[in-house]
């Protein structure tokens, strides 16, 4: 007589994703009505959308920029949406997966560390063009089944992801400086970037679900689609107007980097804050699925994944409500609260067992805080850092995070000497420490590097 084992399944409430999406959209649509102080700065009517403010040339550029950035986010999502499933399809075991991920972190650590400096030297438009070329190479290679699991794909994709973190932001800031616009417009574009990136990542999951089939040929279609989008990006960047950015010699750039980054304690705080959030997000994406399935019940991870991104949308949409003269808290205070909230969410996950429902809520809180933190850090970089050093500073912070990721992958995932809870706990401590560092910026606010334009 056979024994039948019943599988207990945990189901996400159907209202979770619509409620999160509705809250994020409400935060965007209701902003002009409840933020009267922002209306004069934008020179727009009280019912105007935040997507339609600004002077004509910059408004046209921002619309085209957000579309191009959304396409880049779709390509990023397509390349990473499979994750462990792609390694399994390639026949790789746990140790081989850990080796691939460690190699990816190493690729982002060493070549990625100088990619920001190269971006500052060649200009943001060429850096964006380089990003599209790298994505085209990965998409073309993975479109062939014989090359899908090649090591070179991991290195190119890691370098492309490193360039993605700063090339579009730098291009936006340089174009904003060139057209001499108000800083409020730039700050709004920062949170719109995070908002549209989250929407695009959800869209990339839908695209891959449509293009993927059970046969071997169908599985390669998403990568061919990503390569096609990369061609569109390359064509647009080739036809885009060249943004002029002063190019300095290596020696003068090195002196400027030491003076404005390594010897400025305010910028070093931003470096550590950026590294901590990057490490925490990377640790989350490595460990969230094992953490949830450790409950013992079956859960549809593909249904839970969009809730995290919807929470990120909500966090980014709440950013414009918490800066400016009418904000309930000072700008650095709001960012400190977001860091503490993200750190506490991971701390509870790491050191206190919870059921799946509670884990999903904590992970949603974490992503809402991440959605608020990303544009807030971009805003602080604009205030404290010269634009010509933005790429080098961001790649430097990412190299610190990638070094920690590389070490934990070697010591934890491969020989399994470090528990997942310890990694999440260290990520939580990093976030809490970064929140304390951001709080210290209040003491130095009067020394802030002011932009010549009106805030």
> Greater confidence, 5 or 78?
78
Interval 376-384 mean pLDDT: 90
Separation of alpha carbons 154 and 163, rounded Å? 14
pLDDT score at 16: 81
* Section 353-371 average pLDDT: 89
| Residue 46 · residue 36 · CB < 8 Å | yes
pLDDT above 90 covers a percentage of the chain that reads: 25
Share of the chain above pLDDT 70, in %: 79
Find the DSSP H helices in 123-239.
124-142, 151-179, 183-211, 221-239
> In angstroms, what CA-CA distances link 267 with 380, 381, 425, 434?
9, 8, 26, 13
CB atoms within 10 A of CB 287: 21
pLDDT in tens, 185-217: 888 889 999 999 999 988 888 887 777 765 455
Which helix (H) or strand (E) covers residue 435, if one does? helix 420-440
Residues 6 or more apart whose CB falls under 8 angstroms from that of 345 comprise: 362, 363, 365, 366, 369
> What would the mean pLDDT of 87-109 be, rounded to a whole number?
71
Mean pLDDT of 430-447: 81
Reported as a pLDDT band with limits 50, 70 and 90, residue 386 is confident
Q: Where are the beta strands (DSSP E) in 216-299?
A: 298-299
- Give residues with Cβ within 8 angstroms of 394, minimum separation 6: 116, 165, 166, 169, 274, 381
What pLDDT does 46 receive? 45
Region 92-109: mean pLDDT is 71
Q: According to the model, what pLDDT value does residue 84 have?
A: 58
Distance CA 419, CA 417 (A): 7
Burial class (CB in 10 A: 0-12, 13-18, 19+), 5: exposed
Residue 219 has pLDDT above 70, yes or no: no
pLDDT for 83? 56
**134: confidence class by pLDDT, cuts 50, 70, 90:** very high
Partners of 9 in beta bridges: 298
Report in angstroms the alpha-carbon separations of 206 from 74, 193, 249, 305: 10, 20, 46, 12
Record the pTM: 0.88
Note whether 252 and 121 are within 8 A (CB). Answer: no
């Amino acid at each position: 007589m056979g024994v039948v084992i019943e599988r207990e399944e945990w189901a996400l409430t159907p209202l979770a994703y619509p409620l999160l999406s509705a809250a994020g959209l409400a935060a965007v649509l209701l902003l002009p009505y409840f933020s009267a102080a922002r209306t004069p700065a934008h020179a727009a009517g009280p019912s105007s959308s935040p997507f339609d403010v600004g002077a004509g040339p910059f408004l046209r550029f921002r619309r085209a920029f957000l579309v191009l950035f959304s396409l880049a986010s779709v390509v990023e999502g397509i390349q990473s949406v499979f994750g462990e499933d792609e390694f399994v399809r390639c026949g790789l075991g746990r140790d081989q997966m850990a080796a691939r991920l460690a190699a990816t972190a190493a690729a982002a650590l060493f070549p990625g560390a100088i990619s920001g400096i190269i971006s500052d030297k060649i200009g943001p438009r060429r850096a964006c063009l380089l990003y599209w070329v790298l994505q085209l190479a990965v998409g073309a290679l993975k479109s062939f089944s014989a090359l899908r699991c090649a090591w070179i794909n991991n290195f190119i994709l890691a370098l492309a992801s490193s360039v993605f973190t700063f090339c579009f932001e730098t291009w936006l800031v340089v174009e904003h400086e060139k057209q001499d616009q108000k800083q409020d417009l730039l700050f709004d574009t920062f949170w719109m970037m995070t908002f549209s990136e989250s929407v695009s990542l959800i869209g990339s999951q839908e695209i891959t679900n449509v293009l993927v089939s059970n046969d071997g040929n169908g599985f390669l279609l998403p990568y061919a689609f990503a390569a096609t989008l990369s061609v569109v990006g390359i064509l647009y960047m080739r036809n885009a107007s060249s943004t002029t950015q002063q190019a300095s010699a290596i020696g003068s750039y090195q002196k400027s980097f030491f003076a404005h980054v390594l010897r400025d304690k305010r910028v070093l705080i931003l470096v550590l804050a950026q590294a901590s959030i990057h490490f925490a997000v990377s640790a989350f994406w490595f460990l969230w699925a094992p953490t949830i399935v450790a409950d013992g019940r079956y859960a549809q991870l593909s249904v839970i994944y969009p809730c995290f991104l919807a929470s990120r949308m909500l966090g980014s949409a709440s950013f414009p409500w918490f800066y400016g003269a009418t904000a309930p808290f000072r700008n650095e205070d709001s960012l400190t609260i977001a860091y503490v909230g993200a750190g506490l969410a991971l701390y509870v996950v790491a050191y206190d067992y919870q059921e799946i429902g509670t884990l999903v809520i904590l992970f949603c809180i974490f992503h809402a805080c991440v959605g608020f933190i990303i544009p807030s850090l971009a805003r602080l970089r604009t205030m404290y850092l010269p634009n010509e050093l933005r790429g080098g500073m961001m790649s430097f912070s990412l190299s610190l995070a990638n070094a920690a990721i590389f070490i934990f992958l070697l010591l934890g995932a491969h020989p399994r000497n470090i528990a997942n809870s310890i990694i999440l706990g260290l990520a939580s401590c990093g976030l809490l420490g970064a929140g304390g560092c951001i709080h210290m910026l209040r003491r130095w606010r009067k020394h802030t590097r002011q932009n010549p334009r009106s805030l």
